[in-house]
Every structure is written in structure tokens, then in C-alpha cells.
Amino acid sequence: MSLKLVFLGRLEDVAGHGEIALDIAGPLTLSEIAERLEPQLAVAISAANVRIALNGSLVSPGGWTAGNGDELAFLPPVSGG
Amino acid sequence: MSLKLVFLGRLEDVAGHGEIALDIAGPLTLSEIAERLEPQLAVAISAANVRIALNGSLVSPGGWTAGNGDELAFLPPVSGG
Amino acid sequence: MIRDVRLAHADFDPAHEMAHFTARQDAGGVTSFLGKVRSEASDNPVLALELRHYAPLTLPGMEELAMRAERNWKLTGLLIIHREGVMEPGDPIVLVACGARHRRDAFEASDFLMDHLKSESWFWKREKTANGWRWIEPRAQDADDLARWAHIR
Amino acid sequence: MIRDVRLAHADFDPAHEMAHFTARQDAGGVTSFLGKVRSEASDNPVLALELRHYAPLTLPGMEELAMRAERNWKLTGLLIIHREGVMEPGDPIVLVACGARHRRDAFEASDFLMDHLKSESWFWKREKTANGWRWIEPRAQDADDLARWAHIR
């Protein structure tokens, strides 16, 4: 089973990839996902100004789990236009 | 000797022409010019919101005379753009 | 700094003018305003619009206005093209554009230019409908718009 | 009311887009903002600019922003074209245009759209100079610009 993690902006540089597929045994919380990542990346995605989208919808940092086939995106402050 | 009067905007309708050449014997003040015009036009050009330009430069209603070869323009409130 | 200020005596092509103006400068952003002849006035189809002006004052006034804008905002370019004469519905009347490194400068300068072209430039507008020609009077809104810039020298 | 909101995946022609947008509506006035890739960053020539985005959110967010503008100003048309991908200096990044009967509506709505595209849309920008690629961080000015619209729902 696999969970897709997407990293935008400077988080991509920290992760080393724009996307990572995480092998999982079952649905995970944000903390459980962070534990599976390199410490530097775990800290970066936990910053207060990083927004999270689960399957294309913004979610708060808690109150959900992400499982097989889900896509979880980490969105640092934008700088568009 | 002749003085050219120019009427802009709705003053042109009151004057019946965009320009009038006034035969004059010598330099005239604004009051003396007004006396030479139809009463309705004299009133219209004397309105407080009508600006006056003598030979292309804005002037106040008094303190000048206009003579032979001069151009006096009467400029009601603008409505451009 | 590019300054291009013109009184147009015939129809002009805003898209062409904008492309030309934009290509000539290294601005981060370019704002523009295009005013066109409307096709209805109080539910009456507009047949024509005429802008009369007073040549000795009109273009010099537009140039002075451009210089005021340049003194007050940091611009890379400034464009004003204003028609005079008789126009048809859909024809361009006025095109204003400002280029700047920072978009707030470009937006504010364009806004400033338009408010002053409407209320302080030497143009008189009349509209022709089935009821004939009618001079357009200044609107109270125009004076209100102008008052917003009282702090600008 | 014309609403044309697009995420552009390749270069586009702002002059053509503006001419098309303007011709489609009976607006008294049309304002626009065009943002282009600058050619210098802190005195270093810019070699390229990349805008990354997150597809599930980007275009829906732009459409929601357009609807907010339409609710708050009386517009005859609204255009947003925003690039993603890799661009070169001089390339258009974003084109916003608003048509309205009254120019204040058009100016304010364009200004509102740009401030929100800069600070609340799902784009991440990085710039390439001789020093390599560098992510652009949000500026304090962007937050200040956004705060001006706190009263707009």
C-alpha cells in the first residue's frame, strides 16, 4: 500500500524530490508520516506556515489520516504572480 | 481691428458659433466685451465656472485687456475622457 | 523612462499601442486603462460621440499631467493617447498605461492620470442619440474621484 | 458578464488576448495589469523564471477569486491568465483585465485580483541567475497589499 507525498516550493529542495511514494501498512496521522521522513524534512513540513492538502482539499494539521492511494501535499507560503 | 472669441462646449451652442470675430476700436476689458454680445451669451460667459484663456494662457476675469489679433477663449467645465 | 503623450486626431489601435509600449521597457508590470465609446446612453443607442478640445491648452496640459505622475510615482514608462473629434460606439477614446518595477506605482499612476484626464483636461464631450446631440455635463463622481489626489503635488 | 480564467502552460500573447477580451463586451472602460519576467534580480541578469503550482488547487482557486471580484464590483468582463512553467525574461507571467461601465469598479477589481494572485494563489516562484536557482520568498509588501482588502468578502 502506498501514500503519495507532494512537496511544493522550497520543500521540494528539502525533500530532494517533488513527490515521494511512502509504503504504508495502513492509514497514518501527520505525526506518524513525519516520523517516517528524514528529520530535516519532518521539521520543514511541520512549520506553522505550511498548509496541507489531502486529495486536493486543504485540511488542518490534525483530525485526519491518509492511507493507500491518498495524495498529501505540503504547501509553503506562496510567491506567485 | 479684430478680436477673436472662441467658445467651447455648451457655450458654442449659446453663441451659435465656435468662433466670433469682434470688430474693435481698441483693447477691451471682459465687461466691455460682454456688452458687445447678445445678453444670453454675455451671461453665459460670465458664469463663475467659466475659465478664460487669452492667447492660449489661462487668465483671471480681470486685470487684462484684449486687443487686435488677440484670441480669447471661454472654457466651461470640462467633461473629457 | 519612456514618455509618450499624444492627442489622436483619428482612430488608433490600442492593442498595437500597448504591445509597442510594453516591449520598449523592462517593467515588472504594466497597468492600462482603455476607455471606449459606449453604445447606449440612458437606454438610447449612441450614434456618435464628439470630443472638442482647445488646442493651445490640451496637449500641453496632458504633458504637464504626465510629468506630475512621473514626479510622484517611480515609473519605467508612461503612455497617454487621447482622441479628439467624432467617434462611433466601440471606438477607443483614451488609452493610459504605466510601467513600473512595483505594481502599486503602476496602478496608482494610471488611476491618477485617468481621474485628471476626466476632470481637468481640456475636453468637452457631446453624445448623439435619436434625440440629437447633447453635451455631457461633469458628474459629481468626477469631482469626488479627483479629491482623492489632493495630497499629490 | 464574460469570465475567462485560465492557467497557461505555454507562452501567450497579451496584446491578442486584450484585443479579444475588449471586443467581446460593451464596457465603458477596461483596466489591465500585465506582469512580465524581469531581466535583473539584485543586479544579476535573470536567465529564467519558473512558476510551480499545485494543480488540484490552482485553477479552482483562481476561479473562486474571480467570483469574489464579481460579487464585489459591477463588471462587464473579467480576464485572468496566469502562466506556470519555465519562462524567459520579457515573457508574460500574468494578465488580468476587468471591464466595467464605471472605471472605479474596473480599477479596484484589477488591483484586488493582482494582490490576491500574488499572495493567495497556489504558485511558487524561483529565479535562475548565474548563481543558480533561488526560490522567491513572499515579501512583507505583499501582506500589506492584501490587508487593504480586509473589508471585501
Dig out the grid coordinates for A37 from the structure. Answer: 521522513
Query: Count of H helices and E strands in chain C?
Result: 4, 10
Q: Which of the other chains make 3 or more beta carbon contacts under 8 angstroms with chain D?
A: A, C
pLDDT of residue B81: 67
Provide mean pLDDT across the span C144-150.
90
Ranking A8-12, A77-81, B63-67, D144-148 by mean pLDDT, the lowest is: A77-81
Residue A71: its H or E element:
strand A71-75
pLDDT > 70: percent of chain A: 99
The Cα-based distances of D116 to A13, D84, D106, D144 in angstroms read 26, 16, 16, 11
For the sheet with A57-59, list strands across it. A19-23, A2-7, A71-75, A51-54, A57-59
**Cα C40 to chain centroid, rounded:** 20
Pairing of strands B51-54, D48-53: unpaired
pLDDT of residue A33: 97
Provide mean pLDDT across the span C97-113.
96
> Is the pLDDT assigned to residue A81 strictly greater than 70?
no
Q: What residue has cell string 492584501?
A: D146
Largest Cα–Cα distance of chain A, in whole Å? 41
First-residue to last-residue Cα distance in chain B: 38
Confidence band (pLDDT; 50, 70, 90) for B39? very high
Nearest-10 crossing angle of helices C140-147, C103-120: 140
**What does residue D50 show for φ and ψ, rounded to 5 degrees?**
-120, 135
Cβ distance D57 to A58 less than 8 Å, yes or no, reads yes
**What does residue C141 show for φ and ψ, rounded to 5 degrees?**
-55, -35
Rounded Cα gap, residues D100 and D88, in angstroms: 33
Cβ distance A81 to D93 less than 8 Å, yes or no, reads yes
Residue A6: closest CA among chain D residues belongs to which residue? D54
Regions of chain D short of the pLDDT cut 70: none
What pLDDT digit, counting tens, does each position of B47-77 carry?
Answer: 999 999 999 999 999 999 999 999 999 999 9
pLDDT of residue C10: 98
Rounded to the nearest 5 degrees, what angle is found at the Cα of C79, between the Cα atoms of D32 and C145?
A: 65
Largest Cα–Cα distance of chain B, in whole Å? 41
Give me the sign of the Cα torsion angle B25, C57, C141, C34. Answer: positive
Q: Tell me the nearest-neighbour CA distance from D71 into chain C, angstroms.
A: 22
What would the CATH number be for the domain defined by C2-147? 3.90.1170.40
Q: What is the pTM of this model?
A: 0.93
Q: With a cut of 0.90, is the ipTM above it? A: yes
A14: left (phi over 0), alpha (psi -120 to 50) or beta: alpha
Cβ-count burial C63-89 (b if 16+ within 10 Å, e if not)? eebbebbbebbebbbbbbbbbbeebee
pLDDT of residue C137: 85
What pLDDT digit, counting tens, does each position of C19-78 carry?
Answer: 999 999 888 899 999 999 988 877 889 999 999 999 999 999 999 999 999 999 999 999
Residue B13: closest CA among chain C residues belongs to which residue? C135
- Residue A47 in contact with partner chain D when CB distance is under 8 A: no
Cβ distance C51 to B56 less than 8 Å, yes or no, reads no
Q: Who's near D20: CB < 8 A, 6+ residues apart?
A: none
Domains of chain A (ranges; CATH) run 2-75 (3.10.20.30)
Pick among D80, D93, D135, D145 to test the A interface (most A CBs inside 10 A) = D135
DSSP D47-91: -EEEEEE-HHHHHHHHHHHHHHHHHHS--SEEEEEEE-EEE-TT-
Q: Where are the domains of chain D?
A: 2-147
Pairing of strands B71-75, A71-75: unpaired
Rounded Cα gap, residues D107 and D20, in angstroms: 19
